[in-house]
Chains A and B, each alone.
Chain A
């Protein structure tokens, strides 16, 4: 009788890339639903554009690279990129903005580097940065969240803005867009208002909630909860989110304490913009992050510091994407210099 030959180990935890990616996708659901709830049809429309373009460009690239298409599409990584992009881009942005960002993310940042596992930069962040640099005006097409306004912009109006660049009436897009709380605060502080007066401002005041921004606060809280769930499920490593959030907290606290009038509180920073999305879904992308435990601490802390710097003194409304990509560049160096001491090398006390 001849037996099957195989190689050790013959036991396996039966984990799979597929299951990791899908758990990340499931964890994205609550925060995404909140984003849809607060920002309306635009989020859904951009989500569908991003998903279709990302999957399509992934399939095309794989075909050109003569790689198996179905297996890679099924791994869920392109889907995550699409969701992250759609969540990061303004809900009233023109359709082509998402298309360009998606193509750049998948084709240039991911497939040209060799596909899943080989990309140096976080694909979604590369896509985001490309459109952020190229189309700064369109990148401000945020809408006022529910709570500031009473109703969603109608489906027809949203479609019209996204695909025609105008409303069905004669009014311009600018009449329905509204800056994000973070952007507002930055502009107002730039105009030498202080935080208190901005929060009490007759127009902008409604944008702010107790913790951070109306709507944004809940989106961030939900991403935080999902993130904790992912850490519990061991889908992501806890070090990067913890070090990122800690670094952002400490730095923002330092400045807020030193000048309460012109530096927003730590809470505002932690629960505004893309903070929680970055902490648990973007910075934790294993492919482009550090792999050593020590390296992950530095990597997360670095993103926190850079994000705060760009948010506070940079020219862009949110610094997450730049911070992540900058730290992506440092990964090989960090990984090399933070190798753990192997067994037998540790000094004995």
Chain B
């Protein structure tokens, strides 16, 4: 067992682990049930579109919903049977919400779709082809984040593959049991990932409170001759299993803010995910079942079951001998980061790693109604693995000063619950952060919407203005053109008139000049007539003189 000097992340907690409640028996298959509820979306990313119909018969492993969208994962039928309903059904979620589900009636034929496993041939396949197999198998991160695995493996030439078998949350033992019982398969899965991302080494990280898993993995490594694998025992400290914290422990490096592990040459995958990849490549089995820990004092026989996705929690609990008398709280996930559900008529989904049934004494129910004021003792600062100032975050989150909360790196909070755990005032800090985050997201969405509306409005204004300007311009041009034309016409008309007048004048002049016309009635007058005229003229003159005077 090689050992390198390990680094520490800030803070963390030593907890009571209660792992021995559930890790004594070997993994048992969950008995077939008559009905399965498959939520269409069980991953982070886009929901798939349902590609089957009500009444249709489906085979085990048949794809039920998928989409071409990049960040997504299909879901498959865990059994052969008939689709009896496609519609809303309650799913595990802290809000207790309903979501689109496909409900299948089991025909107990256990009839598989045709499978063509590539098995050892994967060595000859390229990364792209292998990623497609992983994507089509609906594999998502089984450590709890359920991020589509194929997307996570798009970067190649990553130096170190870290296989996360830390399982730092109390009570949960599903990864522990998986490593104990299926170590070779886990390593085979890791080898496929290593092949995809062309990793140079694979470090399997296991907390030192799992000696049996360590032995099993070490045995499997010893059988392997490639020298690709190395086990790394990490000291038990919550939350060592968190991706960022684990990377810090092993490599000493921190994943940059807003960055990915690939930025520091690391890829981290859960052991369960590696096993699912093994199943997909070696058996052509999509992700239709997972190992789930059923534990806590509220359950009769705590154990790990291999449960088909879509099985009702109540059916599993029944197989575990039912509830004990003082079952009090039903928690999906671990006691630090899980969430409580108020009914067991919910399906097991890809994210379900643990079902913790507690009695009233075992579990501390955070008292949200009345807590003491924060006394700024900074115990939260001491334990925060993200090196935040939780009491400042609480101060701003509770005062709805979201801008300041974001400034204090609210979004670096991994919601591990360490701060709430140590708080002497019993302030449900994580709850404050969660609601502040969703408030900020809502505000952001509103802001984006408002921005979009504003941009739309501005664009419309601009368009209208442009149209108006264009119209005016057009009109102006038209008018100008018209005016020009009109001006020309007038000019022409004037010219013509002038010409006509001058012409006429010239003609008259010419006529006058050429003819020297005299009034015709005075021509050829007799002397008598001339005298008379003279006399008349004289009289007129006199009269005129008289009247003028």
Contacts and interface: CB of A to CB of B under 8 A. Distances in A.
Do A and B actually bind?
yes
Interface of A: 1-17, 19-20, 75, 115-118, 234, 237, 286-287, 289, 291-293, 296, 335, 339-346, 348
Contact of B428 (A7, A15, A20, A342): A7
B142 to A, nearest CB: 19
A292 B389 contact: yes
A289 B426 contact: no
Nearest to A234: B379
A247 B412 CA distance: 35
Given A75-B372, A286-B375, A286-B377, A9 B340 contact: no
Interface string B155-180: 00000000000000010000000000
Contacts of A286: 375-378
Nearest to A118: B373
B328 A115 contact: no
Residue among B388, B421, B428 with most chain A CB within 10 A: B421
B366 A7 contact: yes
A141 B31 CA distance: 84
Contacts of A2: 342-343
A117 B373 contact: yes
Contacts of B415: 8
B364 A11 contact: yes
Contact of B387 (A19, A75, A341): A341
B219 interface: no
5 contacts: A9-B337, A10-B364, A117-B374, A286-B375, A342-B386
Q: Is the interface of B mostly helix, strand, loop or mixed?
A: loop
Contacts of B387: 340-343
Residue among A11, A15, A117, A291 with most chain B CB within 10 A: A11
Interface residues of B, number: 72
Nearest to B333: A8
Contacts of B423: 15
A286 B368 CA distance: 23
A345 B16 CA distance: 31
A341 B254 CA distance: 12
Interface string B354-379: 00101010011110100011111111
Residue among B259, B343, B375, B430 with most chain A CB within 10 A: B375
B412 A344 contact: yes
A4 B328 contact: yes
Nearest to A4: B329
A14 B421 CA distance: 8
Nearest to A237: B378
Nearest to A14: B364
Nearest to A9: B417
A11 B170 contact: yes
A219 to B, nearest CB: 26
B376 A117 contact: yes
Given A3-B341, A5-B342, A10 B15 contact: no
Given A3-B340, A15-B423, 4 more contacts: A6-B366, A10-B356, A117-B376, A289-B376
B9 interface: yes
A8 B336 CA distance: 6
Q: Is the interface of A mostly helix, strand, loop or mixed?
A: loop
Contacts of B358: 10
B339 interface: yes
Contacts of B389: 291-292, 335, 339-340
Residue among A4, A8, A287, A339 with most chain B CB within 10 A: A8
Given A13-B421, A345-B257, A7 B379 contact: no
Interface string B306-338: 000000000000000001000111110101111
Nearest to A349: B252
Contacts of A9: 335-337, 364, 366, 417, 420-421, 430
Contacts of A237: 377-378
Given A2-B342, A8-B338, A344-B256, A16 B426 contact: yes
Interface in B415-464: 415, 417, 420-426, 428, 430-431
A1 B378 CA distance: 40
Contact of A287 (B257, B330, B376): B376
A12 B417 CA distance: 9
A3 B329 contact: yes
Interface string B467-506: 0000000000000000000000000000000000000000
B331 A10 contact: yes
B344 interface: yes
A1 B323 contact: yes
Nearest to B360: A4
B418 to A, nearest CB: 8
A12 B364 contact: yes
Given A117-B374, A286-B375, A293-B381, A12 B342 contact: no
A344 B378 contact: no
B194 interface: no
B143 interface: no
Contact of B15 (A11, A19, A335): A11
A238 to B, nearest CB: 11
A343 B364 contact: no
Nearest to A19: B424
Contact of A346 (B254, B340, B408): B254
Contacts of A234: 379
Given A3-B340, A16-B426, A343-B244, A10 B328 contact: no
B232 to A, nearest CB: 20
B425 A17 contact: yes
Contacts of B15: 11
B252 to A, nearest CB: 8
Contact of B421 (A6, A12, A342, A348): A12
Interface in B363-415: 363-366, 368, 372-379, 381, 385-389, 391-392, 408-409, 412, 415
